[in-house]
Amino acid sequence: MAVTAVELWKALSYLGTEAFYVLLCTLLYTAWSPRRGIVLLASTALGAALTLYLKAVLHLPRPPPSEWLVPAYGYGFPSGHALVSSSFWTSLTLVSGCRALAALAAAVVIAVSVSRVELHVHYVRDVVGGALIGFAVGFTLYRLSRRALRETILCTSIIATALSLTALLAPAPGLSPESIAVATRYCYTVAGISIALAVYPLVERRVRDEVYRSISAVKRLGLAIAIAIAATVSAVASTKLIAYPQLLLPSFAAITLGVLSSPLALASRR
């Protein structure tokens, strides 16, 4: 069966979801480099928190719902897909030091951004603004982390948590009850992940790259897969707490704490 244009745009749009990048950060943090992985996770969390805050404050609309080709919730600017994908790929390109990765990063961000416009859930201004803000987030975090990693992650934890929780307090004129419920769940989820980032300064000395690289790649990959599966199952189970969205904060904080602390299991046995 031939793939339609809409199905292709839907697939590309998935490459901009927060869940995809959190899972990718989990794998990279555990299997590749805790030091680089934490910058990626912090960039993703701050990008998501900033998206929630700006949407809640600016109240800029999406295209008319009658034109949407996929479900959409909340306000239009900035596009969360464009912002989060841009912040992640900017950070990944910089922390990896691989110039060739810049082309792939640009291609993914452009594809995600175009998909949101083609699916008629965002205006061009939403994706362009989101991509530019995401680039600024990724670039700034990278530069700051090179000078003071632990302090940067701790500050990011505080700022992202504050932005997420502040977005909960903002009025939401014109939004449907369903959109408000979805935004509320996202705010608590992002806040939970952001709070957990504060644990990294406590474990950083135990999982420095020079220590972690001494562990075999097979063990690191095995741990990464196990942690990714456990985190995914836990996250899916947590979403069943729809009636109690406040529980998403401690739930995702606990999941993220488990991910960030997992390398200690290997570092202590080397």
pTM of the model: 0.92
Q: What is the pLDDT of residue 72?
A: 87
- What's the pLDDT tens digit per position in 178-221? 888 889 999 999 999 999 999 988 877 776 666 666 777 777 78
- What's the pLDDT tens digit per position in 108-138? 999 999 999 999 999 999 999 999 999 999 9
Q: How far is CA 63 from CA 68, 76, 135, in A?
A: 8, 8, 24
**For 57-75, what is the mean pLDDT?**
90
Structure tokens at 49: 């928190």
- What's the pLDDT tens digit per position in 140-153? 999 999 999 999 99
Q: How far is CA 35 from CA 42, 87, 98, 203, 245, in A?
A: 11, 17, 16, 11, 31
Structural domain tally of the chain?
1
User: Is the model's pLDDT at 222 over the cut of 60?
Assistant: yes
**For 4-10, what is the mean pLDDT?**
84
Among 17, 38, 18, smallest CA distance to 28 is for 38
Q: What share of the chain in percent tops pLDDT 70? A: 93
Identity of residue 267: A
Neighbouring residues of 45: CB distance < 8 A, sequence distance ≥ 6: 156, 160, 190, 193, 194, 197
Structural domain range at position 176: 5-267
Total residue length of the chain: 270
Say if CB 88 and CB 44 are below 8 A apart.
Answer: yes
